[in-house]
């Protein structure tokens, strides 16, 4: 599969016009013969990309006091917990925050408030915050997340995930795509037999089909 994935990535990059911003490279899966209405069959994975994501990751944390200071020192955006309720009451603002942020963290005491007021926005996007215990430096979590991508099917047969960015080399993108491919097929009951089709593309470029062979 590695050669087929690499060939598709090469074609996707060559067929996509150059943009004024760094595009994300994505891989999409279309499944078959699996019941995703059963939560046990759904794909919900965090994959550490061996070549990294190729561009900065936006991380925000609901924190105050000393923990907020630690988060800022680590380059994490800090959201004042006293604003959570107001954010929840402004759905448009909450959606903008969710869309521009890759990962959220939160001090444990604020998790319930976030769930109550922002869960309806963050939950469906798979962006509910990771709880940070008082003894843990949020910088440690942020370091790991910078190389992490989320693969999440929910109840849909077609889903996609970020492989990396256009500024990375073909070999780097191929290694990342293989990490995602192996994780997804490893979680499926019939492995590659549950893959109907698979595509790769840049954010705004055409989709290129990956030849799937068992």
pLDDT of residue 37: 92
State residue 19's pLDDT score. Answer: 85
Neighbouring residues of 20: CB distance < 8 A, sequence distance ≥ 6? none
CATH number of 59-145: 3.40.50.790
Burial (CB count <10 Å: 0-12, 13-18, 19+), residue 1:
middle
The pLDDT, as a whole number, for residue 64 is 95
pTM for the whole thing?
Answer: 0.86
CATH 3.40.50.790 domain extents, the chain = 59-145
Note down pLDDT in tens along the chain; length 214 residues.
999 999 999 999 999 988 888 899 999 999 999 999 999 999 999 999 999 999 889 999 999 999 999 999 999 999 999 999 999 999 999 999 999 999 999 999 999 999 999 999 999 888 999 999 999 999 999 998 999 999 999 999 999 999 999 999 999 999 999 999 999 999 999 999 999 999 999 999 999 999 998 6
Distance CA 58, CA 201 (A): 22
Q: Residues spanned by CATH 3.30.190.20 within the chain?
A: 2-54+149-209
Can you tell me the distance from the alpha carbon of 28 to that of 162, in angstroms, rounded to the nearest whole number?
9
| Domain 2-54+149-209 CATH class label | alpha beta
Give the alpha-carbon dihedral of 12, 13, 15, 21, to 10 degrees.
Answer: 120
């Amino acid at each position: 599969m590695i050669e087929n994935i690499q060939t598709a990535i090469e074609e996707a990059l060559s067929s996509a016009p150059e943009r004024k911003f760094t595009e994300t490279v994505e891989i999409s899966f279309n499944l078959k013969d699996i019941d995703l209405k059963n939560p046990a069959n759904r794909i919900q994975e965090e994959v550490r990309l061996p070549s990294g994501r190729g561009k900065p990751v936006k991380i925000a944390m609901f924190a105050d006091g000393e923990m907020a200071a630690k988060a800022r020192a680590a380059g994490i955006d800090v959201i004042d917990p006293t604003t959570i309720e107001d954010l929840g009451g402004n759905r448009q603002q909450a959606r903008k925050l969710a869309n521009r942020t890759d990962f959220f963290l939160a001090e444990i005491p604020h998790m319930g408030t976030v769930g109550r007021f922002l869960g309806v926005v963050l939950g469906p996007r798979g962006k509910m915050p990771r709880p940070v215990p008082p003894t843990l430096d949020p910088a440690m979590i942020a370091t790991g997340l910078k190389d992490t991508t989320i693969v999440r099917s929910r109840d849909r047969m077609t889903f996609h995930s970020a492989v990396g960015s256009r500024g990375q080399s073909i070999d780097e993108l191929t290694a990342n795509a293989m990490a995602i491919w192996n994780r997804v097929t490893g979680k499926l009951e019939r492995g590659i037999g549950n893959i109907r089709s698979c595509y790769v593309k840049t954010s705004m470029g055409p989709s290129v089909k990956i030849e799937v062979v068992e």
